[in-house]
Structure formats: structure tokens, C-alpha cells
């Protein structure tokens, strides 16, 4: 296990722009959420650094797009190899900056990002002949857009970055990646690993404040923004990208319902429901955020879920015994505490938890709220923390209506033995992905995106790759 200082010891921890190493006059502290203490600092990019990065990325674009898919794949494969060698360091950094447990969630995320990069690098967008007649031929092809600006949040810093830079690069774009101001270190380490593998300017990481994201969205030299974050920021991104008609992909928040059917196998579903709701301490977009349980099962399920939760240990992610970490930042910690205070103020009952743990660190215990009203804040808002409202239902039409009664439409899940019935119900849920007897499963070939306020466009699959290209049609008379 290393500390930040050991990982970067004696090495440059600044910006790498077009092959140059640049330090910024201003730096920003990085806080360890398990202690609340600053343990590192990173460059705070200013507009001139963005200018240099865009110039480098635009300069690198013609040669990068001119490479064959196989040549780009080979370079991305080498980057994945370097990440593999730095696996332990990346996992250490991820835990230090994000808080998730080092030996489970952090190690898994690093491995996942490497595997994702390798898999996406094998994918292709195939050109097509749409018509090949004696007097006329029509060819369809995909052309890369140019510089892609990639903006990611703090809950899965490496995985969500890989979801973006892998497809952007294999399709022939150059990229500028902006990590969350709260979790910049793994991205900076990625930039270091990419140096000497990818040509200068192809993959640039810029660390900075939220403002940097806004400058990227408005920059005329950037052709596309792929953004993952909150719905509120996503709407600002879309407005900012209107000038110049920048392409946008938005992966935003969710308030995903899970519906437990009366025939569900409790022993089998309880652990899955627990990790679906509380994994990553509830800080994920497709986590279960409202759990609807049929009346016939409600008391047993509530007890079983609370009993399971009592056996799960929360603590500093660097402690090998920890299965859940803290909330990632103080803003999120205060927001979740506000939700708990609202539950208390309205006399709602906690089946478990309910009180934030006094410092240090941003710890909120696993909290289960017993059947709060549908219009309570804990049901209506995306908690993005380890707080789950469990809600009773009796009638299927009613539960579908309640599940859909939200501005969000990211994911949903249904749990029960009768899969034909579950599939019929799935057809009625307003969500980009509906899982049956599983949740948060993603795949390189399965498009993922939100309905309603949860997003615009998709990532993954052919559609996700095509989102980094313009379609081009060439028609020839013969
Ligand atoms: P956020 O919207 O505050 O920030 C996300 C990123 O946007 C950060 O890098 C931030 O610096 C940047 N940013 C802030 N203001 C900006 C602006 N005006 N223009 C451009 N960029 C700007 O979100 P967050 O709090 O970091 O992340 C939590 C949210 O992300 C939750 O709502 C969660 O559901 C969502 N999320 C969605 C997905 C998905 O795939 N749909 C995945 C993970 C998280």
C-alpha cells in the first residue's frame, strides 16, 4: 500500500500539454474523504492552459485520425498494458482521493477500466455501401469529429473516464479529459502513463475547477462534449454547447426504482438489493434509490435488508476490513445529512441508521427509511449516498405509476421469479435500462443512456462509438 507521496515521489505532478510539462501558479488541494484532510495538491488550469491543450489536441488530430483502426488499437493496448503495470498505484490513488475500499471496489474499478479500454479498442465502426447499382453508388462512412472534451464526476473517476476516452480515441478523435476537481489524481497518473505511448496532444488531462468545464463547453476548438454529472450541470452544458452546435452526450443523474414482486426469493435478492443500493456508499448513477416492495413481503424484506446491512463494515477504504467507504466530499456529506434531518423533522422511521457519524471524515451510516410518503424529499430527490427509502405497494398499476413519477429515467430494476411478468412490467417503466433480477450490469456492446432528465444520447455499443463521429455519405453517378 502506497501513499500519494510515494507514488509520485520525485516525479512531475503538473500538466502535460503537447509534450511539455507545465506547472500552474495556482494549485488546488485534494482531500482524503476518510480523514477530511488535504494530502496532495494538483494544478489549477487557467484559460491559457486550455488554449494550449486545445492547440495541441487539434495539432495531433490529423495524424491520429490518419492511423488505421488497428494502429490506434495497438497504441491503446499499450496504454492498457501500462495501466496494468501501475494497477496497485492506481488503486491506492483511487482510494485516497475517492474513499472507496482499496481491496474490493478500488481494485475492481482499476481492473474494469483496463478491461474496458482493451475491449473498446477492438471495436470498429464499419463503413457501408448503401447502394451499388449500375448507374449509382452510395457509400456511408464515419469520420471523427476532432477534439473531444470529456468531463467526468467523482464517483467512478477511472471507470467513467475509460467509458469516454476509449471510444473517443479508437474512433480517431483526440481528447481533453477533465476529471472532477475532487478526484484528479488517478487522471493525472493516467496522463503520465500515456506519455511516450500516445503521440503528444492525443490525450491531455487538465485539472481545475468547475469553471474549466464551462470553458471547455464554450471553446470553439472543441468539437464534442461528453459529460457525466448532475442533471442541473448537464442542462448548463447543453445550453453552453449550443454556440457552434457542439455535439453533446449527457449521462446525468437518476432516481432509479427497484420493484420487488410478491414471488421474489428473499434470500437470493436481499444481498443484491443491498449492494445495488449501497455499493460505493450509494454514490452511483444507477444505484437503487427507491425500493418498492409488495405488501406480502414488506415486513420480512425490511428486516432481512437491515440484518444484512448490520453485517457490512464501513470505514477508511485503506483499512482492509472496510466494505464501504465515506461519502466523497463535504458538499455531498452535507447534502445527505440534510436529507436525514428532513426525515427526522417529518417523523419518518429509520429501520436502520439515520445519524451521521461525527468526524473525522465524511461518513454517513447505511440508512433505511421505513415507508416514507411518496412526496418526501428522501423519495423525490437523488440522495447519492447510503440512504434508501423502502416503500410499500399492493397494486401493480399503482407501483408502475409511482416508479415513473419522477423527472429522471436512467435505470430501473424488477425482482421476482416470474420473468415473463417482470418483462411485461419492464416495458412500462420509463428508463434507459431495465434490469431483471440484476442491476448495474453494463457491457461494451450494450448502449447505455437516460430518458427524460437523465441524459441525452448513449454511451457504449455501436451507437456510443458513432457518437464520436459524423456520418458521411458519398454518392457517385457512374
Ligand atoms: P456535477 O454535475 O457537479 O459535476 C460533474 C463534472 O462537471 C465535474 O467534473 C465538474 O467539475 C464539471 N462541471 C461543473 N460545472 C460545470 C459547467 N458549468 N460546465 C461544465 N462542466 C462543469 O456532478 P457531480 O456532483 O460531480 O456528480 C454526481 C452526479 O453525477 C449525480 O447526479 C450522478 O447521478 C451523476 N452521474 C451520472 C452517471 C451516468 O452515467 N448517468 C454516472 C455517474 C454519475
Which residue is closest in CA terms to ligand 1's atom 8?
A: 180
219-248 tens-digit pLDDT: 999 999 999 999 999 999 999 999 889 999
99-123 tens-digit pLDDT: 999 999 999 999 999 999 999 999 9
161-199 tens-digit pLDDT: 999 999 999 999 999 999 999 999 999 999 999 999 999
CA–CA separation, 309 vs 327, rounded Å?
A: 17
pLDDT of residue 243: 85
pLDDT of residue 435: 98
261-278 tens-digit pLDDT: 999 999 999 999 999 999
Q: Give the mutation target among 225, 233, 442 for probing the ligand 1 site: most ligand atoms within 8 A of CB.
A: 233
- Catalytic site includes residue 218: no
- Using CB atoms within 10 A of its CB, is residue 390 exposed (0-12), middle (13-18) or buried (19+)? buried
Note whether 223 and 201 are within 8 A (CB).
no
Which residue is closest in CA terms to ligand 1's atom 33?
A: 253
Going from N- to C-terminal start, the domains of the chain cover 4-252+454-477, 257-444
Which residue is closest in CA terms to ligand 1's atom 26?
A: 153
46-85 tens-digit pLDDT: 999 999 999 999 999 999 999 999 999 999 999 999 999 9
Instruction: Please identify, in words, the CATH class of the domain defined by 257-444.
Output: alpha beta
327-336 tens-digit pLDDT: 999 999 999 9
Q: How many other C-beta atoms lie within 10 A of the C-beta of residue 81?
A: 14
Query: Quick check: helix, strand or coil at residue 176?
Result: strand
Q: Is the CB of 251 under 6 A from ligand 1?
A: yes
Inform me whether the pLDDT recorded for 392 exceeds 80.
yes
Which residue is closest in CA terms to ligand 1's atom 9?
A: 180
Nearby residues of 115 by Cβ (< 8 Å), 6 or more positions away: none
The CA 152 to ligand 1 mean position distance, Å, reads 6
pLDDT of residue 431: 98
The CA 154 to ligand 1 mean position distance, Å, reads 8
pLDDT of residue 356: 73
Which residue is closest in CA terms to ligand 1's atom 23?
A: 229
Q: Which of 109, 192, 251, 382 is catalytic?
A: 251
Q: Grid coordinates representing 41?
A: 495538491
Q: Is the CB of 253 under 6 A from ligand 1?
A: yes
In terms of CATH architecture, what is 4-252+454-477? 3-Layer(aba) Sandwich (3.40)
78: alpha, beta or left, given left = phi > 0 and alpha = psi -120 to 50? alpha
Note whether 86 and 77 are within 8 A (CB).
no
Query: Quick check: helix, strand or coil at residue 46?
Result: coil
Overall average pLDDT of the 433-451 stretch: 98
Q: Grid coordinates representing 144?
A: 471523427
CA of 179, closest atom in ligand 1: 9
Q: Is the CB of 230 under 6 A from ligand 1?
A: yes
Is the omega angle on the peptide bond into residue 360 within 30 degrees of 0, that is, cis? Answer: yes
Amino acid at each position: 500500500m502506497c501513499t500519494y507521496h510515494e507514488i509520485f515521489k520525485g516525479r512531475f505532478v503538473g500538466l502535460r500539454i503537447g509534450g511539455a510539462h507545465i506547472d500552474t501558479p495556482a494549485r488546488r488541494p485534494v482531500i482524503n474523504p476518510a480523514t477530511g484532510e488535504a494530502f496532495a495538491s494538483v494544478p489549477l488550469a487557467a484559460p491559457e492552459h486550455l488554449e494550449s491543450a486545445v492547440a495541441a489536441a487539434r495539432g495531433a488530430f490529423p495524424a491520429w485520425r490518419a492511423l488505421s483502426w488497428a494502429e490506434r488499437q495497438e497504441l491503446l493496448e499499450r496504454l492498457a498494458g501500462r495501466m496494468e503495470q501501475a494497477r496497485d498505484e492506481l488503486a491506492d490513488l483511487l482510494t485516497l482521493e475517492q474513499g472507496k475500499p482499496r481491496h474490493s471496489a478500488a481494485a475492481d474499478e482499476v481492473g474494469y477500466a483496463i478491461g474496458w479500454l482493451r475491449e473498446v479498442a477492438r471495436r470498429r465502426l464499419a463503413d457501408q455501401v448503401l447502394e451499388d447499382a449500375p448507374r449509382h453508388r452510395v457509400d456511408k462512412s464515419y469520420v471523427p469529429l476532432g477534439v473531444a472534451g470529456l468531463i467526468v464526476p467523482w464517483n467512478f473517476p477511472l471507470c467513467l473516464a475509460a467509458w469516454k476516452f476509449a471510444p473517443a480515441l479508437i474512433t480517431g478523435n483526440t481528447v481533453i479529459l477533465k476529471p472532477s476537481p475532487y478526484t484528479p489524481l488517478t487522471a493525472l497518473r493516467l496522463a503520465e502513463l500515456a506519455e511516450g505511448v500516445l503521440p503528444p496532444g492525443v490525450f491531455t488531462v487538465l485539472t481545475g475547477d468547475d469553471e474549466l468545464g464551462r470553458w471547455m463547453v464554450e471553446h470553439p476548438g472543441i468539437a464534442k462534449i461528453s459529460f457525466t454529472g448532475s442533471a442541473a450541470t448537464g442542462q448548463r452544458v447543453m445550453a453552453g454547447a449550443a454556440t457552434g452546435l457542439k455535439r453533446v452526450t449527457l449521462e446525468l443523474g437518476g432516481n432509479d426504482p427497484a420493484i420487488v414482486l410478491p414471488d421474489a426469493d428473499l434470500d437470493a435478492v436481499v444481498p443484491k438489493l443491498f449492494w445495488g443500493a449501497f455499493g460505493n456508499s450509494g454514490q452511483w448513477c444507477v444505484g437503487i434509490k427507491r425500493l418498492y416492495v409488495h405488501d406480502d413481503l414488506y415486513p420480512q424484506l425490511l428486516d432481512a435488508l437491515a440484518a444484512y446491512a448490520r453485517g457490512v463494515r464501513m470505514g477508511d477504504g485503506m483499512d482492509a476490513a472496510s466494505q464501504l467507504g465515506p461519502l466523497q466530499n463535504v458538499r455531498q456529506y452535507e447534502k445527505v445529512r440534510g436529507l436525514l434531518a428532513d426525515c427526522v423533522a417529518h417523523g419518518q422511521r429509520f429501520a436502520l441508521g439515520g445519524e451521521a457519524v461525527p468526524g473525522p471524515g465524511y461518513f454517513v451510516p447505511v440508512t433505511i427509511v421505513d415507508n416514507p410518503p411518496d412526496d418526501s424529499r428522501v423519495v423525490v430527490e437523488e440522495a447519492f449516498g447510503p440512504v434508501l427509502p423502502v416503500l410499500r405497494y399492493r397494486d401493480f398499476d399503482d407501483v408502475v405509476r409511482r416508479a415513473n413519477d419522477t423527472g429522471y429515467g436512467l435505470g430501473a430494476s424488477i425482482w421476482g421469479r416470474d420473468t415473463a411478468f417482470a418483462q411485461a412490467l419492464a416495458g412500462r417503466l420509463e428508463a434507459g435500462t431495465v434490469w431483471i433480477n440484476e442491476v448495474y450490469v453494463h457491457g461494451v456492446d450494450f448502449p447505455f443512456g437516460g430518458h427524460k432528465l437523465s441524459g441525452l444520447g448513449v454511451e457504449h455499443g455501436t451507437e456510443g462509438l458513432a457518437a464520436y463521429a459524423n456520418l458521411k455519405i458519398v454518392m457517385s453517378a457512374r
